[in-house]
Structure 1
Amino acid sequence: MNPSTQPSPIRVAIVDDDAIVRETLSAILGQEDGIEIIATATNGIEAVDLVHERMVDVVLMDVQMPELDGIKATSRILAAGGKTRVLLLTTFDDDTFLDGGIAAGASGFLLKSTPAAEIATAIRTVHGGGKVLSPGPTSRVLDRYVRGQRPSTSSTAELDLSGREREVLRLLCQARSNRQIARQMNVAETTVKTHVSSLMRKMGVGSRLEIVTEAYKRGIGG
């Protein structure tokens, strides 16, 4: 194949407050075909800045970090409406992290015990638009969201949501930004912000992330 026709490598940023983890992942993943480690960061704030400053295809993001944790950083990165995908890594198999990551719009959730080759495969999968979860979290997600074993059940009617608010909620649960929602609904972005504020008030929460988390808790996040 002519070098000029070869696909561009997947540009990956590694974010972790542990220098050994950053260096190890950079060294191992950097040897994988089609993957290029373009930068590293030590916390969520640096990660958000990095994505704004450079073209990053996939962020390999630790969950627990100082300054700004990985879930909040994921929410900020995806709210900007770019093409960057986020793959969360954590030491702890904890549903709080899993739920938060799903709500924030992360494309994947892996344990740090995952072999490097599988992490590389996950990077390729999420870059292609797919979703990945470690086996343990996957089984619990299936139990709770696919088989209907949710923490509680409710409906949008009980929240007295308008048709527009229900549509905005549905799109928020798909990790769409305000700009993307505005385009899809053919309304002004300020109108979307008004609906989001109304959803927060009616659901008794204080952020977009909490809207989605609460929706899943109520069984209306699908």
Structure 2
Amino acid sequence: MSTQDASSPRTTRIIIVDDDPIVREVLTTALGSETDIEVIATAANGAEAVDVVHARTVDVVLMDVQMPVLDGVAATSRILALGGGTRVLLLTTFDDDSFLDGGLAAGASGFLLKTTPPERIAEAIRTVRAGGKVLSPGPTSRVLDRYVRGQSPRVASTEDLDLSEREQEVLRLLCQARTNHQIARRMNIADTTVKTHVSSIMRKMGVGNRLEIVVEAHRRGLGG
């Protein structure tokens, strides 16, 4: 577990919620080794997670979807209703798309497959803490399929968007479900520079978040 002072603004306080004790142990060990992430508690179901968030300051809840007592989607709704600024990142195998749709409707900030490597989960936690949205590549494609089904892509062009070469490269990587940190490493630029490019792309596309950027790119035929 992190030795960094929990009062530091860089420390993200998380709880891990899963009905499998082995999963809880593995994630606690992996994520607790990150210097900027502190695992302050674990829970075996959604009801326990709601109780923890009600009693303590939690930045991000890393939560399984399918659990007894209270599932992850229902727990997400209850946690966000508390109004404390806690964000929820759902872990799922996506056996049923109703969980994906339900989680989006409940206000979850992201979905990751349980096969996601720990380092990618850590990056997703940082993104969600900063107010971003995260979807694993597979689920992203399924969400996009539902958004664009029945809609003909526009001509593949960014000319009317007036994107710079750097912004076009950032857009391409966003469509590959890359995080800001991954984009920064790929392009050899600072994370803050990536954030600036993403904000500019959102403004030029007239959208409000990263997911909408990707949806609009696919509608324009630029997501391939």
TM-score (norm 2): 0.62
Deviations 1:91-113 (A, max 9, x none): 33431111011011000001100
Deviations 1:77-136 (A, max 9, x none): 111212000000013343111101101100000110001000000000000000000101
Match for residue 76 of structure 1? 78
Match for residue 13 of structure 1? 15
Cα deviation for residue 149 of structure 1 reads 4.5
Seq. identity, %: 73
Alignment of 1:190-205 (within 5 A): none
RMSD across aligned positions (CA) = 2.0
Cα deviation for residue 143 of structure 1 reads 2.1
Number of residue pairs the alignment of both structures matches = 147
Q: Does the 8 Å contact 1:143/1:149 carry over to 2?
A: no
Structure 1 residue ranges without an equivalent (≥5): 151-222
Aligned residue identity for 2:37:
I
Aligned residue identity for 2:76:
T
Distance 1:6-1:69 versus aligned 2 partners, 3 A rule: closer
Q: Does the 8 Å contact 1:93/1:137 carry over to 2?
A: no
TM-score (norm 1): 0.63
Deviations 1:41-75 (A, max 9, x none): 00111000000000000000000111000100000
Distance 1:143-1:137 versus aligned 2 partners, 3 A rule: same
After the TM superposition, which parts of structure 1 deviate over 4 Å for at least 4 consecutive aligned residues? Answer: none
Match for residue 207 of structure 1? none
Cα deviation for residue 7 of structure 1 reads 3.1
Alignment of 1:139-154 (within 5 A): 139-145=141-147, 147=148, 149=150
Alignment of 1:10-89 (within 5 A): 10-89=12-91
Distance 1:148-1:91 versus aligned 2 partners, 3 A rule: closer
